[in-house]
Amino acid sequence: MRANTRPSPFSLIVRSYLADLRQWTGHLVAGYALACGFMLAGGVSLVIAIGIGVDAAFRALEMRYDIWIAYATIGGAFLVLGLLGLVMGRLLLGHPAPAVPRPSRQVDMLKRAIAVSAAARLIATSRPGGGSADTTTQALAAAAAAMLIGWFAASRFRRRHDDVQD
């Protein structure tokens, strides 16, 4: 490949969409990593605090009542905390992930690339001394350009109505 060769419009569009996907994936992974880091730090701190509190509570219950009452009370509290933790974790992970980005920007770029290519060919064939085309080819090129402009207008009009309904 030569150094001054420009990439094709299709290649630029694919690269643009892949960049959007890469950014979306990065945000998703960063969000989960941040949440997991906070949960880990909070969990470790909570385990240390709970250990100290449980030891103090166990000793107080053992002195005031019996050792079996202390075991039952501490075990029941851990059962309730464990179930509560499982339910809260499930609720936190139950949120839906953000939607995959739609390639609407790239579709617009593709439409423009097609229009520019068609217009460049039309201008090149209608230029004096540039190899003029016969009248049938010129009429077909004009009809194709009119259809392309109509397609752009119709797709833009339809997309604006779709955006309002969403």
At 16 the pLDDT is 83
Residues 74 and 61 sit within 8 Å (Cβ to Cβ): yes
**Rounded Cα distance, 163 and 166, in Å:** 5
pTM exceeding 0.75: no
Same domain as 86, residue 25: yes
Residue 161 has pLDDT above 60, yes or no: no
- Confirm whether 7 is domain-assigned: no
Same domain as 31, residue 52: yes
Q: What is the secondary structure of 57-75 as a DSSP string?
A: HHHHHHHHS-HHHHHHHHH
pLDDT 10s digits, 85-128: 888 888 888 778 778 778 777 777 777 777 777 667 766 666 55
Residues 156 and 107 sit within 8 Å (Cβ to Cβ): no
Same domain as 75, residue 128: no
Q: Which domain holds residue 110?
A: 104-165
Same domain as 72, residue 46: yes
- Confirm whether 77 is domain-assigned: yes
> How many domains are contained in the chain?
2
Share of the chain above pLDDT 70, in %: 82
DSSP 8-class letter at 7? P
pLDDT 10s digits, 133-142: 677 777 777 7
- Confirm whether 10 is domain-assigned: no
Same domain as 33, residue 80: yes
Same domain as 88, residue 67: yes
Residues 119 and 144 sit within 8 Å (Cβ to Cβ): no
Coil/strand/helix, residue 99: coil
* End position of a domain, from candidates 31, 63, 93: 93
**Rounded Cα distance, 142 and 137, in Å:** 9
pLDDT band for position 35 (cuts 50, 70, 90): confident
pLDDT 10s digits, 49-87: 878 888 888 888 888 888 888 888 888 888 888 889 888
Same domain as 115, residue 46: no
**Rounded Cα distance, 6 and 10, in Å:** 11
Catalogue the E-assigned strands of the chain.
none
Mean pLDDT of 31-45: 87
Q: Which long-range contacts (CB under 8 A, 24 or more apart) does 1-4 make?
A: none
pLDDT band for position 2 (cuts 50, 70, 90): low
Same domain as 89, residue 21: yes
At 163 the pLDDT is 53
- Confirm whether 140 is domain-assigned: yes
At 128 the pLDDT is 58
- Confirm whether 132 is domain-assigned: yes
At 32 the pLDDT is 87
Nearest to 36 by CA among 92, 76, 120: 92
**Rounded Cα distance, 20 and 33, in Å:** 20
Same domain as 86, residue 53: yes
* End position of a domain, from candidates 73, 93, 113: 93
**Rounded Cα distance, 55 and 13, in Å:** 63
Residue 3 has pLDDT above 70, yes or no: no
Query: Tokens 């643009």 belong to which residue?
Result: 16
Same domain as 63, residue 125: no
Mean pLDDT of 32-57: 86
* End position of a domain, from candidates 68, 93, 118: 93
